[in-house]
Amino acid sequence: VTILAIESSCDETAAAVVRDGREVLSNIISSQIALHTVYGGVVPEIASRKHVEKINYCVREALSQADLTLEDIDAIAVTYGPGLVGALLVGVSEAKALSFATGIPLIGVHHIEGHISANYIENKDLEPPFVCLVVSGGHSHLVVVKDYGVYDIIGQTRDDAAGEAFDKVARAIGLGYPGGPKIDKAARDGDENAISFPTAKIADAEYDFSFSGLKSAVLNYINIKRMQGEDFNKNDLAASFQKAVVDVLTEHAIRAALQYGCDKLAIAGGVASNTGLRQSLEKACKDNNIKFYRPSPVLCTDNAAMIGAAGYYEYMKGERADLSLNAVPNLPLGDRERRFHGRSS
Ligand code: ATP
Ligand code: MG
Ligand code: FE
């Protein structure tokens, strides 16, 4: 089964061709990062316009690099949520137009389901059930993947997402956007034990996260230093902040895997490309006899190959969308029935 996948939920325009869910024939990503850097974050209207400019090129290039034409494609999978509505609409419209013109079946894919499914691409042996830590720009979820496309959310953030915390702290230190990779790099030259930041524990929900308190602690630290006219070491600050995030993510993920009796732990989303997090989980998994799965960095951040992987399993289950498929900015993960496949009725 050969799937053409399209992704445009945020600031990456992407198209890919994926065979049988796990073999990537092409993976085209047109990133808008440079465009949004001047504003310190993603500007939705600019993102939508850029998607419109790039989408046809990405689709053409994905087919051409796979050495295929639309006639070879069995299904078109597209992200229909969650994400920025104007950005999502570009991909959804493209996919619907292609499906309408060719009769190729259409499949609506949940963006986070895509992030999770990125793990299938390079780990041919990975099958559910497993625990997945999803840490991206907008989400921090601990998920039990019970089967393909069947998710149990056991923990989530109460406030900021992990990636959001990275981005906000990076902005405060003056490292720029996007913050994750910049903090990751700075942290390598810093002392992670230089500053001790609090990590929040939520008493009544043992797998939930909270990052806004940590973010405030970092901002307070910077403000106090500035008021006192003192300098601070950016690298030490980045390393100490990153350690606080990594520690809590590692602790929650390992505890979940052990308590749910899963000997497999996967990570997903942009923050999953963080060097510190990967090292920490690698070690903790080894210590606890858990097999650790992580996508290559390029498959952690937004891409369409992961949408092709998720779309494949939907396709095999017989899931099909029709031309009423619409962008759903706050699409929930998990219960497929409640999602109406993006249909309005
Ligand atoms: P979502 O997937 O929740 O809709 P998104 O698509 O914007 O949000 P992703 O593309 O999955 O998010 O990830 C982007 C986020 O990952 C940004 O917040 C970015 O700072 C963070 N990130 C990327 N690389 C790293 C890294 N090396 N270390 C930490 N964070 C990182
Ligand atoms: Mg992005
Ligand atoms: Fe994402």
Task: Tell me the pLDDT tens digit for each residue of 272-303.
Answer: 999 999 999 999 999 999 999 999 999 999 99
Q: Pocket around ligand 1: residues whose beta carbon is below 6 Å from it?
A: 9-10, 83, 111, 115, 136-139, 163, 166-167, 178-181, 184, 269-271, 273-274, 301-302
pLDDT exceeding 70 applies to what percent of the chain? 95
Question: For residues 264 and 290, is the Cβ–Cβ distance under 8 A?
Answer: yes
Say whether pLDDT at 259 is over 50: yes
**86-113 mean pLDDT:** 98
Q: CA-to-CA distance for 176 and 39, rounded, in angstroms?
A: 10
Segment 4-17 shows an average pLDDT of 98
Helix or strand run (H / E) with residue 156: strand 150-156
Q: Model's pTM, two decimal places?
A: 0.95
Ligand nearest to the CA of 84: 1
pLDDT mean over 325-340: 77
Backbone angles phi, psi at 21, to 5 degrees: 80, -15
pLDDT of residue 225: 95
Phi and psi at residue 59, to the nearest 5° = -65, -45
How many alpha carbons lie under 13 Å from residue 165 in its C-beta half-sphere? 28
Task: Name the residue with higher pLDDT: 319 or 337.
Answer: 319
Neighbours of ion ligand 2 (CB under 5 A): 10-12, 302
Distance from Cα 274 to the centre of ligand 1, integer Å: 9
Residue 344 scores a pLDDT above 50:
no
Q: What is the pLDDT of residues 28-54, one digit of tens each?
A: 999 998 888 888 889 999 999 999 999
The pLDDT score that the predictor gives to residue 37 is: 86
- The verdict on whether omega for the bond into residue 332 sits within 30 degrees of 0, i.e. cis, is no
Model confidence at 238, pLDDT cuts 50, 70, 90, reads very high
For residue 338, name the pLDDT band (cuts at 50, 70, 90): very low
Q: How confident is the model at residue 126 (pLDDT cuts 50, 70, 90)?
A: very high
Instruction: Report how far apart, in Å, the C-alpha atoms of 109 and of each of 4, 93, 143, 182, 295 are.
Output: 12, 14, 17, 30, 19
Above 90 in pLDDT, residue 341? Answer: no
pLDDT at residue 111 tops 80: yes
* 3-class SS of residue 255: helix
Predicted ipTM? 0.98
Strands (E), 211-314: 264-268, 291-293
